[in-house]
């Protein structure tokens, strides 16, 4: 059945930053396939003045009605019309403070408070700024014009076509027509923006509030490199004449891929040499590359429906790492991908309360604490598996074919698989249908049967339950032999179980060689696990495989198929470990066990972590050096805090000494700033807290402020923690309130009171940005509900019925609570 579709929008806006209001007029040309007496558009929080039908220079007044619940504007034509139809709508709206739609962003520069008005439309908030058909497949062209104060700068997706003064002291800024695109990618903004730029065939710019734009040089230099890579890899030039990276003070997410006008949190695009760490630089580059990849995956080729949103986010996640790795291979980005993306995805997808990558429904998909790890992290990890299956060259050529075929249009998952199959001649669609079309992921169980391995699959969940699900799993095995030789063999597991010949003389075997497969591995042969431990300690395995063995083993602990003692004993093989990836994973796993454990279990975990991390710190040094590896710098900042948390006097004394320099207004290296601040807070009292409050107000660096927000969640003093609770809700900017709350949820001194604090401040927390409030629930409930499980479940039984949009995050949080409760009970007997 054909449907009414948009052809072109002309949007006129007059924002008033003094009153936080705007007036607007949209002229919309539509293609109406059959005679119709009305048309429905999406609208939210806008007041409509009048609607008109435009026909050959004539204007005819239309009736209209607004349904707030359906977010719908019905325009009633004076007569039935069809074909190309033009309507004009006058309206007014609020420049709101919700970080959605057309909203205000507050910044402070040299003590002066300033506001900008900017937009954030994904997934479906364009309707808050102009009446539209607010769905990704409803692509059209756009012309935007704004009337603003002469001292302000207006920005949009495209370059300025015309700027002229008006008699009332304002100016009209008109922008070039856009390519055909979706409403969620439209951007417009106005404020006191300054630019630095890199002229070229495509003009590249960084925009920021006055006084900060010079901090955009690092991002601008990387953007030029990344654009060169993307244009070469995808085989299609970037289609606009300019591309802006825009720093926004108040921003709910990390960044947003608006075509030609990418918006960011300040700390993800502005580089401060005094507080941006190596980890911060890496994060900036990955996010810039992620958003740049969207200019092709999402903007040029758009998902046909929201269920195919993964075609945007999974590719952007994948290329966010791939682009950076191309220019900085020494950063070992694909190793960081395993811990940051694959591990995060597996931990989320190991719950019964999960989703398929291709989320069913289609009309609306909310990116939140429940869905994001699946759409972004799991999707990117599965694409890495696909690349390994078809080969790098076939993968690239398949993507080029896909982009050429569907540019300026819409596509589905099937369209992608078809392109990859055509190039690779492999059954990609058959393999991928169960990876993206069903929830969960597999565990491959491995048993030795003479000279063969019995490989069996089942769905991996922490709370085990029968499942008939199957996947087509590409499996690669590294086999070790007694003479020191190794051999790699591969198979495609197409059923519940299969045999793989490795030879009777095989000494040991490592399944998922290189960790490219998205599955857990369980070894039923204890002798093999012992032999793999020897390979770990002897350095015969690459760091990715050393990571995979211990991380899979800890996953089995969480599932109940291995004991915590078995995991801690296996870690003895890592006593000489120097690589960042396995050590970062071990640190995360030990902290998880430390928080859940009690009494002697916590002491045992602390002793293990303290011994291991002190040894690592002695080897790499407590103080950063100019010529050390990028990965070493990132690792130190993590394990300095971990070592102190686990009771290392050396680590604590070092951090307290460096923190004393900060109290004297002296500097510490950016690569240890966060851990030094964390330890300083953990050891500090009221005066230390007041220093953080004052420093937070005076700091001009969002990187430094983020470090301080993490640190204030680490205080242990009960009186100070009471002050922290009030400070977070009353003084921390809305965009960042969730940050210290997440840290508090892992602070042993804070955990006992956080559930009561949550209940007492429920109405305040509910006013957070929806995504931030979901993060609060996901952080607090699984840990702070321990010991009061029945009370927590009873509360959410009623609350979930009243808050339908929170159902998914509540369910996953309660399931995590159940997993943690079971683990804590089982560890009491250790």
Annotated active-site positions, please?
291
Q: How far is CA 234 from its chain centroid?
A: 23
Tokens for 187, please give them: 């951007």
Rounded Cα gap, residues 309 and 197, in angstroms: 32
Q: Which of 794, 795, 785 is nearest to 818 (CA)?
A: 785
Residue 726 contacts residue 759 (beta carbons within 8 Å): no
Query: Which positions ≥6 away from 503 have C-beta within 8 Å?
Result: 451, 479, 481
Rounded Cα gap, residues 594 and 7, in angstroms: 58
Alpha helices in 122-196 (DSSP H): none
DSSP type of residue 373: I
Beta strand residue intervals within 544-655, DSSP E = none
Rounded Cα gap, residues 485 and 647, in angstroms: 42
Please confirm whether the linkage preceding 123 is cis (ω < 30° from 0).
yes
Rounded Cα gap, residues 382 and 43, in angstroms: 37
Alpha helices in 257-327 (DSSP H): 278-294, 310-327
- 549-553 LR contacts (CB < 8 Å, sep 24+): 549/510, 550/574, 550/582, 550/585, 550/586, 550/589, 551/343, 551/585, 551/589, 552/520, 552/521, 552/522, 553/529
Q: Which of 27, 33, 36, 26 is nearest to 4 (CA)?
A: 33
Query: Which positions ≥6 away from 270 have C-beta within 8 Å?
Result: 208, 212, 215, 216, 219, 247, 702, 703
For residue 723, which phi and psi values (nearest 5 degrees)?
-70, -40
For residue 66, which phi and psi values (nearest 5 degrees)?
-120, 130
Rounded Cα gap, residues 164 and 172, in angstroms: 5
What is the residue whose two structure tokens read 């928080």?
Answer: 595
Query: Which positions ≥6 away from 794 have C-beta within 8 Å?
Result: none
Rounded Cα gap, residues 532 and 566, in angstroms: 14
Sign of the Cα pseudo-torsion (430, 432, 438, 440, in order): positive
Instruction: Report the SS3 class of residue 502.
Output: coil
Tokens for 666, please give them: 């002296």
Other Cβ atoms within 10 Å of 225 Cβ, number: 17
Residue 703 contacts residue 276 (beta carbons within 8 Å): yes
Other Cβ atoms within 10 Å of 771 Cβ, number: 18
What is the residue whose two structure tokens read 């918006």?
Answer: 263
Rounded Cα gap, residues 549 and 269, in angstroms: 36
């Amino acid at each position: 059945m054909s449907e009414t579709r948009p052809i072109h929008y002309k949007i006129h806006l007059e924002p008033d930053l003094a009153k936080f209001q705007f007036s607007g007029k949209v002229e919309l040309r539509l293609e109406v396939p059959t005679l119709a007496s009305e048309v429905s558009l999406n609208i939210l929080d806008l007041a409509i003045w009048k609607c008109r039908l435009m026909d050959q220079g004539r204007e005819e007044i239309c009736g209209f009605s607004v349904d707030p619940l359906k977010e719908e504007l019905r325009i009633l034509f004076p007569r039935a019309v069809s074909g190309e139809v033009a309507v004009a709508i006058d309206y007014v709206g609020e420049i709101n403070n919700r970080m959605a739609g057309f909203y205000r962003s507050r910044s402070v520069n040299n003590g002066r408070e300033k506001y900008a008005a900017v937009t954030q439309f994904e997934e479906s908030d364009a309707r808050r700024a102009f009446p539209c058909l607010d769905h990704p497949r409803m692509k059209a062209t756009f012309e935007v014009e704004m009337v603003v104060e002469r001292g302000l700068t207006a920005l949009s997706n495209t370059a300025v076509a015309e700027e002229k003064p008006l008699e009332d002291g304002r100016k009209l800024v008109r922008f070039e027509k856009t390519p055909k695109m979706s409403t969620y990618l439209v951007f417009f903004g106005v404020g006191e923006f300054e630019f630095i730029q890199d002229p070229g065939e495509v003009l590249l710019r960084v925009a920021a509030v006055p006084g900060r734009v010079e901090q955009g040089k690092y991002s601008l230099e990387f953007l030029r490199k990344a654009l060169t890579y993307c244009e070469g890899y995808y085989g299609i030039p970037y289609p606009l004449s300019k591309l802006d990276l825009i720093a926004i003070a108040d921003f709910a997410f990390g960044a947003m891929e608006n075509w030609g006008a990418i918006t960011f949190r300040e700390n993800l695009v502005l580089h401060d040499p005094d507080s941006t760490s190596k980890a911060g630089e890496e994060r900036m580059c990955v996010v810039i590359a992620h958003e740049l990849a969207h200019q092709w995956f999402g903007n040029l080729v758009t998902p046909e429906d929201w269920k195919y949103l993964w075609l945007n986010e999974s590719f952007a996640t994948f290329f966010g790492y791939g682009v950076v790795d191309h220019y900085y291979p020494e950063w070992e980005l694909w190793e960081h991908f395993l811990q940051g993306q694959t591990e995060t995805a597996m931990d989320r997808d190991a719950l019964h309360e999960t989703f398929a990558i291709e989320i069913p429904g289609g009309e609306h998909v909310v990116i939140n604490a429940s869905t994001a790890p699946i759409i972004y992290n799991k999707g990117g990890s599965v694409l890495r598996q696909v690349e390994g299956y078809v080969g790098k060259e076939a993968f690239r050529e398949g993507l080029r074919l896909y982009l050429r075929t569907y540019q300026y249009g819409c596509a589905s998952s099937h369209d992608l698989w078809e392109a990859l199959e055509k190039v690779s001649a492999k059954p990609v669609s058959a393999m991928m249908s169960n990876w993206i079309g069903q929830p969960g992921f597999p565990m491959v169980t491995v048993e030795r049967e003479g000279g063969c391995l019995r490989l069996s699959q089942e769905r991996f969940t922490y709370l085990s339950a029968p499942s008939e699900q199957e996947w087509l799993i590409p499996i690669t095995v590294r086999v070790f032999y007694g003479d020191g030789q190794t051999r790699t063999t591969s198979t495609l597991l197409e059923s519940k179980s299969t045999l793989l010949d490795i030879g009777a003389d095989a000494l040991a075997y490592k399944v998922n060689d290189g960790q490219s497969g998205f599955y857990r591995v369980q070894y039923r042969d204890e002798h093999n696990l012992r032999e793999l431990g020897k390979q770990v300690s002897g350095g015969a395995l690459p760091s990715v495989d050393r990571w995979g063995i211990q991380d899979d083993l800890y996953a089995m602990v969480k599932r109940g198929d291995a004991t915590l003692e078995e995991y801690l004993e296996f870690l003895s093989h890592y006593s000489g470990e120097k690589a960042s990836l396995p050590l970062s994973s071990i640190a995360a796993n030990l902290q998880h066990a430390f928080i859940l454990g009690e009494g002697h279990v916590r002491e045992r975990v602390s002793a293990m972590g303290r011994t291991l991390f002190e040894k690592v710190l002695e080897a790499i040094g407590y103080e950063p050096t100019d010529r050390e590896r990028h990965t070493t710098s990132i690792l130190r900042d993590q394990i300095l805090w971990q070592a102190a948390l686990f009771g290392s006097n050396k680590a604590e004394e070092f951090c307290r000494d460096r923190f004393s320099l900060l109290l004297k207004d002296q500097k510490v290296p950016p690569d240890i700033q966060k851990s030094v601040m964390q330890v300083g807070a953990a050891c500090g009292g009221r005066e230390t807290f007041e220093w953080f409050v004052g420093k937070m107000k005076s700091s001009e660096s969002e990187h430094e402020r983020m470090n301080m927000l993490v640190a204030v969640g680490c205080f242990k003093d009960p009186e100070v923690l009471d002050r922290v609770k009030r400070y977070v809700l009353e003084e921390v900017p809305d965009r960042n309130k969730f940050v210290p709350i997440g840290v508090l949820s892992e602070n042993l001194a804070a955990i006992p009171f956080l559930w009561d604090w949550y209940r007492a401040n429920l109405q305040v927390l509910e006013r957070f940005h929806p995504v931030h409030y979901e993060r609060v629930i996901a952080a607090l409930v699984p840990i702070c509900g321990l010991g009061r499980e029945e009370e927590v479940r009873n509360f959410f039984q009623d609350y979930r019925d009243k808050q339908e949009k929170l159902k998914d995050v509540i369910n996953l949080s309660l399931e995590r609570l159940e997993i943690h409760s079971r683990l804590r009970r089982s560890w009491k007997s250790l």
